[in-house]
Amino acid sequence: MSASFPTGKYENWSTCRGLFAHVHVALGYRPSEDRVETWATLSHNGGWYAWSQGR
């Protein structure tokens, strides 16, 4: 999921919109130690998109 979800830049909003519900679910899980960095990236990019949308 992290590799598929882009940054929250305006040009990525269409992709973000389509994947955001999946990101929301994925962030409800706690990653194993070897996945913390990718989970954090997904959290950051999802938060960036949510912030840019006023969510």
Is residue 33, in this structure, part of any structural domain at all?
Answer: yes
Q: What is the mean pLDDT of the chain?
A: 94
Does residue 15 sit in helix, strand or coil? helix
How many angstroms separate the CA atoms of 21 and 46, rounded?
Answer: 10
pLDDT at 25: 94
What mean pLDDT comes out for the span 17-29? 94
Range of the domain at 35: 10-52
pLDDT at 55: 84
Is residue 30, in this structure, part of any structural domain at all?
Answer: yes
Is residue 20, in this structure, part of any structural domain at all?
Answer: yes
pLDDT at 2: 84
Q: Give the closest residue to 6 by CA, choosing from 53, 42, 55, 50.
A: 42
Is residue 24, in this structure, part of any structural domain at all?
Answer: yes
Number of domain units in the chain: 1
Q: Residue 30 gets which letter from DSSP?
A: P
Q: Is residue 1's pLDDT more than 90?
A: no
pLDDT band for position 3 (50/70/90)? confident
Is residue 3, in this structure, part of any structural domain at all?
Answer: no
